[in-house]
Amino acid sequence: MEVRKEVEVDKLDALRLMAENFGNPLELVREAISNSYDAGANNIKITIKREPWEGLQRWIVKNLDDGAGMVLDEIPSNQNTGNIRNFFSLGKSMRKGETQGHAVGEKGLGIKIAFHSEYLNISTWAGGDFPLYKIRCYKPWARIFEGKLPEYEYEASADKGKPYDSHFTEIEIVGFYDNDGTHFRADEIDDYIRWFTKWGSFEERIRKHLLNEQAAIKLHLGKLRPPPSGFVTLIAPGDTSPRQIPFGHPFPDIGFDKIQPNEKLDTVISKLSGISFEDMVDRLEQAKKKHWRYIPKVGILKDIPDVTWQAIISVEGEDAKRNYNPYLRQRHRSEKYTYKAEDRYGLWFCKDFFCIHQPIMLQWRYSVKRANELVLKFY
Ligand SMILES: Nc1ncnc2c1ncn2[C@@H]1O[C@H](COP(=O)(O)OP(=O)(O)O)[C@@H](O)[C@H]1O
Ligand SMILES: [Mg+2]
């Protein structure tokens, strides 16, 4: 006799595992930005501050966006509209399949890390005649550890005294990740947003530098939503006024050097052959100040031909890097947020056009006639 059994899933354990450990509390900012982007937001305001909550100092992270908002049971007005139930459910997402090819979210997991907190407070309005929803979730993490599923309560108000002119979502998270605030300073968050969130996507660079439309279609860039025209406004410790972060990963402005745009790196280097070692060092010294254009590359995976990849290579001299990146460490140490070039520059693996995996340092050996071997290191 054949016996069939269903796979069993422990809901509580699944929730706990999702939100238990992560490398950096700023992942909350990454997930919130992804969701705002998916909701079609053009502007996001992120406020991070320490304030008393229930009598104790707590870190409070607030993410306000002008995206399409969320509904509960109503039929959403457009494909960007989010859903409150999905916000609180594991594995439920409206960002699935072809209907929203550009979406960063797809698994309904991302924002569940917010359960690792003491309090969630959400206001959202999908615009028009939709009600304004206020949702509260009290001590989700403590509940999980008491063996209970978190609960949320909501209030729908139809009154027209909407706090904003347009549809919006505001998510407030109190005491995230056991109230860990080690990374919550303006410089570090600013840098994190430009490198490790959807707001730091390099998709526009690829689009701009692709040779023709055909290549862009091959890249499926046509599916991406138009880049947000607004800013992330960041209000965080260390700043006296808000700072504004435009969409897209920063690159040095196109250089002033004589090297042809999109010239192959091999060609560039081989031009250096036949010159004296002193000349070469001199040229490299100069090259510090320069950079070569971004070199976009596209392809398909050899063994899985339905998977396409895109790459962008930006060769930047030391000074060129420093010109746009204020967080590169100078020789003297300082109290400010900084890092070494080799800790940040190198080969990155990306998803949705932003960095997700540790860089690999690239080294390139180059033999100079009659002289020593020269090792170029690329950070
Ligand atoms: N800022 C937001 N605006 C509108 N909807 C949102 C927002 N944040 C979350 N949501 C809703 O919550 C759901 C779950 O989010 P998440 O757990 O990050 O999974 P995913 O992004 O993969 O769908 C989203 O699918 C969306 O419906
Ligand atoms: Mg998400």
Q: For 34-52, how does the pLDDT look when each residue is reduced to its tens digit (9 = 90+)?
A: 999 999 999 999 999 999 9
- Residue 294: Cβ-neighbour burial (10 angstroms; 0-12, 13-18, 19+): buried
The minimum-distance atom of ligand 1 relative to the CA of 107 is 22
Residue nearest to atom 14 of ligand 1 (CA): 87
pLDDT at 257: 41
- Read off φ and ψ for residue 357, nearest 5 degrees: -125, 140
pLDDT at 108: 78
Q: Taking a C-beta distance cutoff of 8 angstroms, is the pair 53, 80 a contact? A: no
Question: Would you say the CB of residue 111 lies under 6 angstroms from ligand 1?
Answer: yes
What is the band of 287 on the pLDDT scale with cuts at 50, 70, 90? Answer: low
Whether 255 shows a pLDDT value over 50: the answer reads no
Domains of the chain: 11-219 (3.30.565), 250-378 (no CATH)
**DSSP SS3 for 243:** strand
- Read off φ and ψ for residue 149, nearest 5 degrees: -75, 140
- Tokens 């997930």 correspond to 31
What is the band of 197 on the pLDDT scale with cuts at 50, 70, 90? Answer: very high
Pocket test for ligand 1, best of 35, 63, 133, 232 (most atoms within 8 A of CB): 35
| Residues ≥6 apart with Cβ < 8 Å to 114 | 19, 28, 31, 120, 140, 171, 173, 176
Strand partners of residue 155: 134
Whether 73 shows a pLDDT value over 80: the answer reads yes
Question: Would you say the CB of residue 30 lies under 6 angstroms from ligand 1?
Answer: no
Q: How far is the CA of 76 from the centre of ligand 1 (A)?
A: 14
- Please report which helix (H) or strand (E) contains residue 234, including its range: strand 231-235
Report, as an integer, the average pLDDT of 325-338.
Answer: 85
Q: How far is the CA of 80 from the centre of ligand 1 (A)?
A: 10
Q: How far is the CA of 69 from the centre of ligand 2 (A)?
A: 14
Report, as an integer, the average pLDDT of 219-235.
Answer: 87
Q: How far is the CA of 84 from the centre of ligand 2 (A)?
A: 13
pLDDT at 335: 82
Question: Would you say the CB of residue 193 lies under 6 angstroms from ligand 1?
Answer: no
Closest CA to 202 of 297, 344, 80: 297
Residue nearest to atom 12 of ligand 1 (CA): 87
pLDDT at 373: 55
Ligand nearest the Cα of residue 86 is 1
Report, as an integer, the average pLDDT of 283-311.
Answer: 72
| Residues ≥6 apart with Cβ < 8 Å to 361 | 342, 346, 347, 377, 378, 379
Question: Would you say the CB of residue 86 lies under 6 angstroms from ligand 1?
Answer: yes
Cα(33)–Cα(65) distance, integer angstroms: 9
pLDDT at 139: 97
- Residue 158: Cβ-neighbour burial (10 angstroms; 0-12, 13-18, 19+): exposed
75-89, 146-160, 211-225: least confident range: 211-225
Cα(92)–Cα(109) distance, integer angstroms: 8
- Tokens 């998977």 correspond to 307
Question: Would you say the CB of residue 36 lies under 6 angstroms from ligand 1?
Answer: yes
Question: Would you say the CB of residue 233 lies under 6 angstroms from ligand 1?
Answer: no
**pLDDT higher for 375 or 307?**
307
What is the band of 269 on the pLDDT scale with cuts at 50, 70, 90? Answer: low
Question: Would you say the CB of residue 64 lies under 6 angstroms from ligand 1?
Answer: no
Question: Would you say the CB of residue 80 lies under 6 angstroms from ligand 1?
Answer: no
Question: Would you say the CB of residue 123 lies under 6 angstroms from ligand 1?
Answer: no
Instruction: State the alpha helices, DSSP H only, in the chain.
Output: 11-20, 27-38, 84-88, 140-145, 176-179, 186-196, 203-209, 213-218, 265-270, 277-287, 318-324, 341-344
Cα(233)–Cα(140) distance, integer angstroms: 28
Q: Taking a C-beta distance cutoff of 8 angstroms, is the pair 245, 231 a contact? A: yes
Question: Would you say the CB of residue 100 lies under 6 angstroms from ligand 1?
Answer: no
Q: How far is the CA of 95 from the centre of ligand 2 (A)?
A: 8
Report, as an integer, the average pLDDT of 319-346.
Answer: 86
Report, as an integer, the average pLDDT of 172-194.
Answer: 96
Pocket test for ligand 1, best of 38, 45, 83 (most atoms within 8 A of CB): 38
- Tokens 């990454």 correspond to 30
What does the DSSP 8-state code read for residue 305? T
